[in-house]
């Protein structure tokens, strides 16, 4: 069988590379062929063409992420109309059913952000910044928005690039110019989380600042273990790659399909749980 | 050494003994764009050999021609501007900004399509004029001026989207708002749907296994793309304006001294490039029904790549619209084509870079061989 | 003077500075209909700078210009052209990548058709270009050859042919014969003579006193940004002119060793 | 009209009456880089007025000079190459690729620092030679050739990282592996720590409330940045090589005809640009202890921006190393500075673009005013 | 012939094509020590193309080149220079954005210091440049002026002064006097004379028969890519040469109307 996976995350994005690893593991385990495709930037127009291209090849199943239901709707509906079973992952929980997908695996970015915000508020945070390494990428913007809504305190977005040294300098600048900041929410562990920890060290206030991040990286997990950072939100995105592929493989073979959506997270990694995760993270499984 | 006596025997020479016969093929290959044909053939050949054959049925063709056409419309504007000796790096951001203007004028101001489209084009045109005015006034390179515009427009798109949506970076509901309005078919949807339906019925077009047609019509952007290419080619080769564009790019000082209105040409080209981007914004916004702050990201870059593959010189004064057309198709084919192969996505960029390089090298060597240059 | 009516083109006290460099320090000059006015002077005297202000390339720092007695300001070369002034610049103002025909017609392309279908009349343009070039003694291989691949003299001839073809009232030639062969030079001088007789005013810059004496009606000598004065034909001999241009310096000694051939 | 009698009275002119007196300031401002000083002053003034004053204490300075220095080292290489008339768009990807080579040779091959650094530089140099060879052989514009290299290197970094880590896009443990090795101080950490400690003790440097020093030393990249700028300036202005670089960029055909070894210069410049990127990769990898597939993303672009702000011409043959130095600092300051202000961060890109434009315009107008050009 | 020993530089049956255009169809030529060999011919005859193959700018399509009787291949202009050949190209080969001094020394900069501290000796370079230029009759304002802002003649003089200064064995001059004033022309001709007497072989391209006759020892005429033959001084008169160059065409009629001044 052939299963096509089309997502909105670039292949070199650490988060999505884990999803892709999950897809490949499932393909091996279930003995199906998969192709994983994604546009090279957050580009909904290009992504809908990639879905079309995948559908043209009449796959036995289609896995898509849906960060923009109106832009991708037509392409997904075309697949559904052609009788191809579709599972949505990661983003798109709200629109999954409406578009005719069988089910959704994953969790909405907004909800993950919200629960992280609530947790940080619980830990005593009052004034937070959200370090966004790709402003305009709707999934990242939703993470920030969720954080702001859950945190319910004073929040501000700090837009940065992908370069650790630049992120570090900007976070330090933010901390230095507003000494009441006590919470940092980073939207990526390696790109934003680790430099944020370094910046907090540079500004001499590491002890007073709660740092949390989306996704995992070995470096950030070490900081959690050392109690320098608070926690990391893990969507267990490996599952978002693995499960839909094996579901669709089973569907093609035996017509089986679970009855409802599968939430893969959120899962907060705090200092207690960190030790088991570090090695897996370095291998691209968590 | 020749003895001086020879001096008297000046041979009677025929008119053009100094010009060797040249094959019509070589003559054709001298045109800047026709080198790109070689690249196109090479890339097509590669995919024919490697990719799923559905890539080249009509549905597959339309599938990769659609993004190629969207890129191509921008590449046309960019290549005209490049021939005129300037760059516009802000056209990628312009797609996002014009998308915002268009989306907001429909969903926030509730304007009809017939007002929103001219408004969007006008705003783009004004930004083009501003870019041009700064470049001309200060004599700064257009690279740096339009780079500033790149950042500013991208930033304004973000701010504007947040304003228009009340905090989100994604504006939706545009397609619904214009449903059924006059002239919608000019910018959205597909043409020749009747013809395609008949063809599918007669099994001349591919279907899905459950009998659904794979393709229901020709996306309107492909029609725009072909039409604009023809128009740009005509202007470049057959009108005084075209001559002025080449002259402005070739040597602005010499062009000005020969009486070419260099300023006006430059302003006009900036406006055209900006409007092409705005047109792409309108088409893609209507197509996807939404717009977001990342639309058109790095498209300026891809447009320039397409123009260069098609034979435009970065230094100006040389190039063609058909070249940009072919370059966009090559680029679009490589971009989407990977999906039809079994190559791992991780290798995508290596593949893209390799194909570009091979296509351009092949172009170049074929043209040199045929025209006998060295 | 012999011209009671207004000169076609008059320049009064033109000054021009580039940054801290003074190129012209007050030069006056007039071109009359049917006359060939020669502008002579040493290298760097300011001749090219002067005629560039005449043809609208750069505005003078100071001074006034009059066409038919009316003060004018040429802000672009196009304005000057529309006033009937055609120029062969020393650097020729050609686009190397473009074909001979396209360079010839640049800025004033002939069209056919009407309205939005007006288009560049390539056939006519090619024919005229080939004809005008062969009038100057150059037989082109093909009108599509890029100007960048022409020889120096061929290129100069294109520029001259173009200016002559479009020179309505005043024709300015900045060292037009510098790269030309014997035959082409003769043909250019003959052309000047012919055009002058049609009532066009000609400004002719040259370093060759023989050429100047052959066609000039009037001679102005520039030196280091100033004019040394104007003389009419017959008021000055070739030797006097030569002396003035060379500043009467080492020339004598050189002439001796080279046998008066310069 | 002057009567002919005047002809005899040729005035006796002094030697250089044709050259007006020029102020030493104007003479200075003629240097390409010194225009950028005006931009730097403007931007600094703006932040002094608007930003939190901690931006300009020593710790704040080091904070924004560190990314500026990393960008600046690349901008130096890029500006030398631009002066020589070529582009290298692959230097951003080269940061990722060289980072991979460096990281993998330490963590996978277990090479010592002393072997890993030369290996990384050598690989970068070879890629530079390949780029140069293709450009020279084919005569294709370096834009398109190095663009292909941009994609290929970026893609190879991803593939290589996954290979080296067994599936992750981040390679870590590099800092730990080289701990305590010889010459580590050359590429990592801070210098003058003793001096800074003494200064802090005497309260000449700021401290935190708990008495900890705010700043413990000067990051090593700043030293590299200053040193390389000095070296590049010396080469450009004081050696035959510098003359050849300007000549190659100004007019390659004329330079070649005058006996300049244009090919060798070009190859050398590509190698230098690639090695500068590799040096930045080494420094940043050691600094962060890890490398990932997105390092250096769009840095090629920023390096070119910095060079252009600093007065380099995109067409080659004009520019300076000090200009690239100042341009990098301006860019770094604007990039980080907004965070020190109270301006809404959504406006970041608008602000970045606006500041760039204003700085460059100010540059330009000041230089024109002072030198009296128009 | 009068030269039993090997010529400094000999070209045998050189052919050159650009794509489908035949620029040279088999030209032979020799330059001897202490002689000035004039290369004459109509515009587009192929003179510049010919000397470009001599100086290594482009390889000939066919034919052999010999230096002191040894076959050589010049793959770059630098190789030709190292063989002692210096050239003034018709397009001058100058970088407009660079200063006069830097252009003058381009490719052979004088250095001082040693090892890694070897550096461009700016002071010496400036002094030599100013001196060489004033020998040619041009007094520069400052050696730092960009070549792009020099007048046409000033620029040409820089190129000539440079070639003369570095011309070790053979000096090739492609229309060196085309943009020069009277005084500068005289000075260039005198320089040719002086350099020749030092034993340098000179190849001199010109359209001016008087200049050719003044300094030439030998005359070769090209026509449409072929040589019409070579004559030594005294074997041919100025009129014969003129006739040959112009192809004996309309020249007579023109001469009449212009009074024999060309
Ligand atoms: N753009 C410029 N910037 C600075 N100086 C300039 C510029 N243009 C010309 N000059 C200077 O002005 C003087 C006059 O130059 P111009 O070209 O007018 O001389 P010319 O009389 O035409 O000389 P030639 O006979 O050699 O062509 C020269 O000394 C030249 O160096
Ligand atoms: N790169 C090229 N491509 C095509 N044709 C060329 C090229 N270079 C020269 N030619 C042609 O070769 C012929 C000889 O040119 P060349 O420059 O050698 O003439 P020349 O004798 O120097 O003439 P002039 O006296 O006008 O300088 C010309 O007809 C020209 O059009
Ligand atoms: Mg002049
Ligand atoms: Mg020539």
Which residues of B fall within a CB distance of 8 Å from C120? Answer: 237-240, 242-243
User: Are there at least 3 beta-carbon pairs closer than 8 Å between D and B?
Assistant: yes
Q: Which domain holds residue C220?
A: 9-94+168-257
The number of folded domains in chain C is 1
Confidence at residue B27, expressed as pLDDT on a 0 to 100 scale: 65
Interaxial angle between packed helices C122-135 and C152-166, expressed in degrees from 0 to 180 and rounded to the nearest 10: 110
Rounded Cα–Cα distance for residues E166 and B4 (Å):
33
Confidence at residue E249, expressed as pLDDT on a 0 to 100 scale: 53
A102, A257 contact by CB (below 8 A)? yes
Residue recorded with tokens 């940043």: D284
Q: Mean pLDDT: which of A177-181, C183-187, D133-137, E40-44 is highest?
A: D133-137
Rounded Cα–Cα distance for residues C148 and E101 (Å):
28
Question: Which residue's alpha carbon is at the smallest distance from atom 2 of ligand 2?
Answer: C149
Which residues of C fall within a CB distance of 8 Å from B317? Answer: 95, 97-98
Rounded Cα–Cα distance for residues D160 and E43 (Å):
61
- The SS3 of residue E66 is strand
- CB-nearest to B292 from A11, A58, A136 is A136
Here the CATH number for the domain that contains residue E56 is: 3.40.50.300
- The SS3 of residue B14 is coil
Confidence at residue B1, expressed as pLDDT on a 0 to 100 scale: 36
Mean of pLDDT values over A5-32: 90
pLDDT in tens, B77-89: 999 999 999 989 9
Residue C82 lies in a domain: yes
Rounded Cα–Cα distance for residues D146 and D141 (Å):
9
Confidence at residue D234, expressed as pLDDT on a 0 to 100 scale: 93
A226 touches chain D (CB under 8 A): no
What residues form DSSP beta bridges with A37?
A6
- CB-nearest to D340 from A21, A161, A173 is A173
Confidence check: pLDDT of B29 > 70: no
Residue E249, phi then psi, degrees to nearest 5: -90, -130
| C200 phi-psi bin (left φ>0, alpha ψ -120 to 50, beta other) | beta
Confidence at residue B11, expressed as pLDDT on a 0 to 100 scale: 36
C221 touches chain D (CB under 8 A): yes
Q: Give the Å distance between the CA of E91 and the centre of ligand 4.
A: 9
Residue C136 lies in a domain: no
| Secondary structure in 3-state letters for chain C | CCCCCCCCEEEEEEEEEECCEEEEEEEEEEECCCCEEEEEECCCCCHHHHHHHHCCCCCCCEEEEEECCEEECCCCHHHHHHCCEEEECCCCCCCCCCEHHHHHHCCCCCEECCHHHCEECHHHHHHHHHHHHHHCCCCCCCCCCEHHHCCHHHHHHHHHHHHHHHCCCEEEEECCCCCCCHHHHHHHHHHHHHHHHCCCEEEEECCCHHHHHHHCCEEEEEECCEEEEEEECCCCCHHHHHHHHHCCCCHHHHHHHHCCCC
Interface of D with B in 129-158 (CB under 8 A): 134, 138-141, 143-145, 147-156, 158
Residues near ligand 2 with C-beta < 6 Å? C 149-154, 179, 181; E 18, 21, 23, 41, 43-49, 90
Q: CA of B139: which chain D residue's CA is closest?
A: D364
Q: Could you tell which of E22, E40, E42, E44 is best to mutate to test the pocket of ligand 2, judged by most ligand atoms within 8 Å of the CB?
A: E44
| E221 phi-psi bin (left φ>0, alpha ψ -120 to 50, beta other) | beta
Could B288 and A48 be called an inter-chain contact, meaning their C-beta atoms sit closer than 8 Å? yes
HSE-CB for A4 with a 13 A CA cutoff: 26
pLDDT in tens, A242-267: 999 999 999 988 888 888 888 887 78
Q: Give the Å distance between the CA of A255 and the centre of ligand 3.
A: 88
Q: Give the Å distance between the CA of A121 and the centre of ligand 3.
A: 78
Element (H, E) at A54: helix A44-56
Ligand 1 atom closest to Cα of residue E150: 31
CA distance A178 to chain D (A): 8
E237: tokens are 């008169």
- CB-nearest to A82 from B154, B210, B349 is B210
In whole numbers, what is the pLDDT of chain E averaged over residues? 85
D356, B148 contact by CB (below 8 A)? yes
Confidence at residue D371, expressed as pLDDT on a 0 to 100 scale: 60
The ipTM assigned to this model is: 0.89
Ligand 2 atom closest to Cα of residue C153: 26
Question: Which residue's alpha carbon is at the smallest distance from atom 24 of ligand 1?
Answer: C43
Confidence at residue C114, expressed as pLDDT on a 0 to 100 scale: 82
Residue recorded with tokens 């702050």: B293
- What's the Rg (C-alpha) of chain A? 19
E238: tokens are 């100025």
Residue E155 lies in a domain: no
Confidence at residue B317, expressed as pLDDT on a 0 to 100 scale: 87
Query: Cα–Cα–Cα angle for D315, D320, D323, nearest 5°?
Result: 105
Provide the 10 A C-beta neighbour count for residue E190: 22
Q: Label residue B180 exposed, middle or buried (CB < 10 Å: 0-12, 13-18, 19+).
A: exposed
Q: Give the Å distance between the CA of D19 and the centre of ligand 3.
A: 19
E215: tokens are 């300094």
pLDDT class for C249, splitting at 50, 70, 90? Answer: low
Confidence at residue D141, expressed as pLDDT on a 0 to 100 scale: 86
Regions of chain D with pLDDT less than 50: 1-15, 374
Query: Which one is predicted more confidently, A70 or B3?
Result: A70
- CB-nearest to B149 from D141, D309, D353 is D353
Give yes or no for residue C41 CB within 6 A of ligand 1.
yes
Provide the 10 A C-beta neighbour count for residue B19: 14
Residue E77 lies in a domain: yes
Confidence at residue D224, expressed as pLDDT on a 0 to 100 scale: 95
Rounded Cα–Cα distance for residues D185 and B338 (Å):
45
Give yes or no for residue E10 CB within 6 A of ligand 1.
no
B17 touches chain D (CB under 8 A): no
Query: Cα–Cα–Cα angle for B239, B243, B248, nearest 5°?
Result: 140
E192-196 long-range CB contacts below 8 Å, 24 or more apart?
E192/E36, E193/C257, E193/C258, E193/E36, E195/E164, E195/E167, E195/E171, E196/E34, E196/E35, E196/E36
pLDDT in tens, A185-204: 999 888 899 999 999 988 88
C57 touches chain B (CB under 8 A): yes
Residue C247 lies in a domain: yes
What is the full DSSP assignment across D11-72?
----TTTTB----HHHHHHTSTTHHHHHHHHHHHHHHHHHS-GGGGSHHHHHHHHHHHHHHH
Closest of C189, C177, C203, C184 to residue C86, by C-alpha: C203
Confidence at residue B23, expressed as pLDDT on a 0 to 100 scale: 67
B164 touches chain D (CB under 8 A): no
Rounded Cα–Cα distance for residues A75 and A68 (Å):
12
Ligand nearest to the CA of E23: 2
b/e map of D40-68 (b: 16 or more CB within 10 Å)? bebbbebbeeebbebbeebbbebbbbbbb
For chain D, which domains are there? 34-369 (1.10.3470)
Rounded Cα–Cα distance for residues D215 and D197 (Å):
9
- CB-nearest to C182 from E184, E193, E245 is E245
Q: What is the dihedral of CA D144, D147, D148, D152, to 10 degrees?
A: 170
Q: Give the Å distance between the CA of C46 and the centre of ligand 3.
A: 7
Confidence at residue B10, expressed as pLDDT on a 0 to 100 scale: 34
Q: Give the Å distance between the CA of C150 and the centre of ligand 4.
A: 9
A272 touches chain B (CB under 8 A): no
User: Are there at least 3 beta-carbon pairs closer than 8 Å between D and A?
Assistant: yes
Confidence at residue D6, expressed as pLDDT on a 0 to 100 scale: 34
DSSP state of E141: S
Ligand nearest to the CA of E181: 1
Residue A156, phi then psi, degrees to nearest 5: -150, 145
Residue C110 lies in a domain: no
Residue E101 lies in a domain: no
Regions of chain E with pLDDT less than 70: 1-4, 246-262
Residue E87 lies in a domain: yes
Confidence check: pLDDT of B362 > 60: yes
E18, E225 contact by CB (below 8 A)? no
Q: Give the Å distance between the CA of C91 and the centre of ligand 4.
A: 15
pLDDT class for C251, splitting at 50, 70, 90? Answer: very low
CA distance B59 to chain A (A): 7
- CB-nearest to D297 from A162, A165, A283 is A162
C235 touches chain B (CB under 8 A): no
Interface of A with D in 133-172 (CB under 8 A): 135, 156-159, 161-166, 169-170, 172
Could B289 and A73 be called an inter-chain contact, meaning their C-beta atoms sit closer than 8 Å? yes
Confidence at residue D8, expressed as pLDDT on a 0 to 100 scale: 37
Interaxial angle between packed helices B34-50 and B348-371, expressed in degrees from 0 to 180 and rounded to the nearest 10: 130
Confidence at residue B15, expressed as pLDDT on a 0 to 100 scale: 47
Confidence at residue D18, expressed as pLDDT on a 0 to 100 scale: 61
Confidence at residue B89, expressed as pLDDT on a 0 to 100 scale: 92
Rounded Cα–Cα distance for residues D63 and A205 (Å):
16
CA distance D165 to chain A (A): 6
Give yes or no for residue E152 CB within 6 A of ligand 1.
yes
Ligand nearest to the CA of C179: 2
Ligand 2 atom closest to Cα of residue E23: 12
pLDDT in tens, C151-172: 888 888 899 999 989 877 899 9
Q: Label residue B167 exposed, middle or buried (CB < 10 Å: 0-12, 13-18, 19+).
A: exposed
Closest of B374, B320, B366 to residue B29, by C-alpha: B366
What is the full DSSP assignment across B84-102?
TT---TTHHHHHHHHHHHH
E3 Cβ contact list (under 8 Å, min separation 6):
E30, E32
Q: How far is CA B161 from the centre of its chain?
A: 27
Q: How far is CA C151 from the centre of its chain?
A: 20
Give yes or no for residue E179 CB within 6 A of ligand 1.
yes
Which residues of C fall within a CB distance of 8 Å from E239? Answer: none
Ligand nearest to the CA of C42: 1
DSSP state of B215: -
Max Cα–Cα distance, chain E, nearest Å: 68
- The SS3 of residue E62 is strand
């Amino acid at each position: 069988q052939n299963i096509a996976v089309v997502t909105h995350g670039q292949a070199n994005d650490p988060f999505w590379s884990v999803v892709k690893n999950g897809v490949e593991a499932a393909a091996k385990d279930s003995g199906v062929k998969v192709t994983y495709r994604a546009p090279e930037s957050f580009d909904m127009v290009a992504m809908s063409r990639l879905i079309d291209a995948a559908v043209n090849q009449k796959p036995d199943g289609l896995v898509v992420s849906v960060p923009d239901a109106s832009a991708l709707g037509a392409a997904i509906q075309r697949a559904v109309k052609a009788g191809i079973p579709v599972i949505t992952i990661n983003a798109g929980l709200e629109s999954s059913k409406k578009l005719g997908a069988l089910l959704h695996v994953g969790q909405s970015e907004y909800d993950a952000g919200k629960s992280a915000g609530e947790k940080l508020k619980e830990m005593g945070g009052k004034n937070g910044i959200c370090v966004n390494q790709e402003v305009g990428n709707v999934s990242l913007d939703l993470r920030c928005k969720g954080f702001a809504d859950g945190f319910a305190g004073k929040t501000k977005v700090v837009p940065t690039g992908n370069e650790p040294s630049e992120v570090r300098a900007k976070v330090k600048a933010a901390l230095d110019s507003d000494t009441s900041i006590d919470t940092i929410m980073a939207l990526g562990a390696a790109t934003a989380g680790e430099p944020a920890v370094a910046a907090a060290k540079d500004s001499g206030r590491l002890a007073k600042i709660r740092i949390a991040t989306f996704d995992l990286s070995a470096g950030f997990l070490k900081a959690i273990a050392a109690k320098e950072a608070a926690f990391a939100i893990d969507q267990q995105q490996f599952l978002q790659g693995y499960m839909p592929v094996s579901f669709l493989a089973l569907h093609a073979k035996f017509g089986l399909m679970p009855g409802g959506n599968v939430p893969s997270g959120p899962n907060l990694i705090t200092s207690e749980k960190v030790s088991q995760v570090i090695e897996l993270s370095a291998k691209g499984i968590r | 050494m020749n003895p001086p006596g020879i001096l008297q025997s000046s041979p009677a020479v025929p008119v053009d003994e100094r010009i060797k016969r040249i094959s019509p093929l070589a003559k054709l290959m001298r045109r800047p764009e026709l080198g790109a044909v070689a690249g196109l053939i090479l890339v097509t050949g590669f995919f024919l050999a490697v990719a799923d054959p559905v890539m080249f049925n009509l549905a597959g063709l339309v599938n990769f021609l659609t993004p190629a056409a969207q890129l191509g419309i921008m590449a046309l504007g960019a290549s005209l501007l490049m021939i005129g000796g300037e760059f516009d790096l802000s056209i990628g951001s312009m797609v996002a900004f014009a998308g915002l203007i268009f989306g907001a004028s429909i969903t926030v101001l509730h304007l009809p399509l017939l007002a929103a489209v001219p408004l969007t084009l006008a705003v783009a045109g004004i930004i083009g004029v501003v870019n041009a005015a700064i470049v001309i006034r200060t004599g700064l390179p257009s690279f740096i001026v339009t780079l500033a515009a790149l950042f500013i427009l991208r930033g304004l798109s973000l701010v504007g989207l947040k304003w228009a949506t009340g905090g989100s970076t994604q504006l939706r509901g545009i397609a619904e708002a214009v449903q059924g309005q006059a002239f919608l078919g000019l910018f959205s949807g597909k043409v020749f749907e009747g013809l395609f339906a008949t063809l599918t019925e007669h099994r001349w077009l591919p279907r899905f296994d459950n009998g659904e047609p794979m393709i229901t019509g020709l996306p309107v952007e492909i029609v725009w793309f072909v039409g604009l290419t023809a128009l740009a080619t005509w202007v470049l080769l057959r009108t005084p304006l075209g001559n002025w564009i080449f002259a402005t790019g070739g040597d602005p000082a010499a062009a000005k001294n020969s009486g070419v209105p260099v300023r006006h040409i430059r302003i006009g080209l900036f406006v055209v490039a900006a409007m092409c981007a705005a047109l792409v914004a309108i088409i893609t916004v209507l197509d996807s029904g939404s717009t977001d702050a990342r639309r058109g990201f790095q498209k300026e870059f891809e447009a320039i790549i397409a123009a260069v593959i098609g034979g435009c010189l970065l230094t100006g004064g040389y190039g063609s619209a058909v070249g940009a057309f072919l370059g966009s198709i090559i680029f679009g084919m490589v971009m989407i084509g990977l999906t039809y192969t079994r190559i791992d996505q991780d290798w995508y960029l290596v593949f893209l870079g390799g194909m570009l390089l091979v296509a351009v090298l092949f172009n170049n060597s074929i043209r040199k061989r045929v025209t006998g240059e060295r | 003077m012999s011209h009671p009516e207004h000169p076609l083109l008059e320049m009064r006290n033109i000054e021009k500075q580039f940054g801290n460099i003074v190129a012209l320090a007050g030069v006056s000059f007039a071109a009359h209909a049917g006359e060939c006015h020669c502008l002579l002077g040493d290298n760097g005297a300011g001749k090219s700078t002067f005629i560039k202000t005449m043809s609208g390339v750069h505005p003078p720092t100071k001074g006034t210009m009059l066409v038919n007695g009316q003060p004018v300001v040429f802000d672009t070369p196009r304005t000057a052209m529309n006033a009937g002034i055609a120029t062969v610049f020393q650097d020729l103002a050609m686009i190397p990548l473009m074909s001979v025909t396209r360079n010839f017609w640049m800025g004033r392309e002939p069209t056919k058709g009407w309205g939005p279908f007006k288009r560049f009349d390539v056939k006519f343009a090619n024919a005229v270009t080939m004809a005008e070039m062969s009038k100057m003694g150059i037989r082109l291989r093909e009108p599509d050859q890029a100007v960048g691949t022409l020889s120096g003299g061929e290129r100069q001839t294109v520029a001259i042919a173009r200016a002559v073809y479009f020179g309505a009232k005043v024709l300015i030639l900045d060292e037009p014969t510098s790269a030309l062969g014997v035959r082409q030079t003769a043909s250019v001088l003959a052309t000047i003579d012919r055009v002058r007789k049609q009532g066009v005013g000609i400004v002719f810059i040259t370093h060759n006193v023989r050429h100047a004496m052959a066609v000039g009606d009037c001679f102005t000598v520039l030196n280091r940004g100033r004019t040394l004065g104007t003389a009419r034909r017959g008021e000055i001999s070739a030797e006097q002119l030569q002396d003035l241009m060379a500043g009467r310096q080492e020339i004598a000694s050189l002439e001796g060793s080279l046998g008066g051939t310069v």
